[in-house]
Structure 1
Amino acid sequence: MSLPAPALLVLEDGRTFRGEAYGAEGETFGEAVFATGMTGYQETLTDPSYHRQVVVMTAPHVGNTGMNDEDPESSRIWVAGYVVRDPARVSSSWRSRRSLASALSEQGVVGISGVDTRALTRHLRERGAMRVGISSVETDPDALLARVRESGEMTGADLSAEVSTAEAYVVPSAGELRFRVAALDLGIKANTPRMLAERGIETHVLPATATLDDVLATTPDGLFFSNGPGDPAATTAQVELLRAALERGLPYFGICFGNQLFGRALGLGTYKLVYGHRGINQPVLDRTTGKVEVTAHNHGFAVAWPDGVPIDEPVSTPYGEATVSHLCLNDGVVEGLELRRDDRLVAFSVQYHPEAAAGPHDAAYLFDRFCDLMGGLGSARPPKEARPSVVERSRDHAGEDA
């Protein structure tokens, strides 16, 4: 067996790491981000939200269980590049069909191994997410750095159409049909329609370019916006679609990118986090219940609550009264929104991934909350004295998760 080719990783600030080619040989560019999950690398790789990102795995040993045919969250690997410290030489799982290295190679994903990923992660935590290049065909760091600085940035990127389904399709309910939902695919993960189906929901998955007429043609009981990649501030058509749906009173549930677009539809701003939240161990407070959830995250942008408005106070919008329903306990980032009209819940969203593939299942109740909303059981707001008090933290700390 021939030895792997030498490989080079160069960040846009010039920091350089050397290692060995892992997966496909060649050259790739993207935004360098780190993911803190110790398991679930197959779901991470196939999550469309990682489109145009080079993922650094903080867990040192990756690839132990190989790759199977049951756990992908989409039809392909979406990461732009992959960085690991110590890849497994042998896959050890009865479900494994191929090694991680061979899967990366087959799909043309350029990676690098043998890198001090702890040092790289510390650098990204201190300096923030930035552009990066990985190459096993270039030996000159300065030459690769020049190409890194010419590559595209995530800020201003409208990417949902690049990862969305080309044609609409239907995921039937499991058992008795209770509701029909129109789901806008902005980078949807396969487990989301499955979790909806388990609750008797027939899901009509629509392309990111779908119009209000396309949504209404499904005769939906509710509208869902999925996770996805890109800058929410660069997205306009989906925001206008959501506003039109809110005007019609269509119950709405959004996750991740769908939370950011919900914020924009309500007139709120968004901003880029220093290095984002990515992993399956993020603590979030549900302010409507006072419970703390361990949640799965993958986002580099967040909703900005209006300056001067306390985080526990509502804001008026053209569609009703908006409140912050969830907060990240590491850094105070807004992790969920609720919209109420006449003090009744009409729409809500969360910034994290309640479908949790991979990840903890603490937030699965949100799909039940969506069912209650569509069934006309949207809860009234609890009395203010019964809601957990929150000390607002400066947005300057946004992204500083533990």
Structure 2
Amino acid sequence: MKTVFGIDVSKSTSNVAILVDSKAVKQFKIDNDLIGFGRLESDLNSFINPEVVFEATGIYSRRLAFYLQTHHFPYTQLNPLQASKEMDGLRKNKTDKNDALHLAETQFRLHRQKTLLQDPIYSELMDESRFYQEEISDFVQEKNRLHRILQITFPELTTLMSAPTGIVYWNIVKKFPIPSKVRKYGIDQLTQIIYDFSNHNISVGDAKKIALKLTDISKIAVSTVSPNSLTLQQVKHHADRLMNIDKMKKRIIRSMEKLAVKLPEYQSILSIPGFSTVTTVSLIAELGDIRRFSTTNQINAFVGIDLRHYESGNYTASDRISKRGNPYARKILYQAVIDMVSISRYQPTHINDFYQKKKQPSQHGTKKIAVASMSRLIRTIYHLVIKNETYDYKIASQAVL
């Protein structure tokens, strides 16, 4: 006797359908809380080795998965695309109640494997990674806002340093939002102020160079606001926000590193030339435990760089990547390839060798070559993690990784 629980999870409730040997014996709705999950647990305990299947619905299904895992009930969690394909023929009338029933029905026919339970560290890393991505988004927004408002108060200030970012720059912006405030200080005073802003992490000579340039641009700058304008508070506000976001980003990465270093794949991935701590922990967070994938093609699909082929009659379209997978992982891998290419002069990799070979008189654009390099990088990462090895250029350049 085979029993399947099909569960359709929504924001605050879930519909449950219980089928025994393909026949529906019970259907009910529960709240996604301890009371509702307790009722579900009671029904699960009424059967021998029940199978549970549900569709991943982002943060909403996380609570159900956590409850089942902590109470030692194995389950099968489907990604939405997989569930949609498998139930398309059954969904004549789509309702939450029917979806729960269809999930259970298809389990009898498809015999899906149970979901491999990952170490809770991966879930925590994923949450922190998404927090980090939010902070990056806010950082870019605040940086653009600060740049726009400086065009009104002190536009030349954006040319003061090679890159208008960093603690020293933001502190200067806060202290001198308009040129008239610079003119109140002599070179030696400005030098000391800038030196202090850096927490003495730059030399006095470099601080003086910045002070001299700050003085020069203040003499030619024209501000469109008065010294008492509220706009100056706006400048300071955005500079403060950027400093706070920068601190939080660093704090998140430190936390992610403390978690990731406990995982066996951390050192393997970090050993790849061009991979920083940020790249490594972010990629582990987005990919999760890649040992759950049986082939690298599955990882390609998960990331969204698997190729889609379209052919109709005499027309054949050029292959394109699906972009249906994890966009954060895709972005991290793309940037990793670019970083590996940029440092190849000092730290060679077989990924760069492949990239340069494809780049030679080719009809393909650099983006397509980078995507092909991403696929090769995924194979390399998978090999290193499965074999628990660190990167070795001589071995990698001779092997097909």
> Which has the greater radius of gyration?
2
Query: Which one has the bigger strand percentage?
Result: 1
Query: Shared fold (TM-score greater than 0.5)?
Result: no
TM-score interval for Structure 1 and Structure 2 normalised by the shorter chain:
under 0.3
* TM-score normalised according to structure 1 size: 0.24
- Larger relative contact order (Cα-Cα within 8 Å, sequence gap ≥ 6): 1
* TM-score normalised according to structure 2 size: 0.24
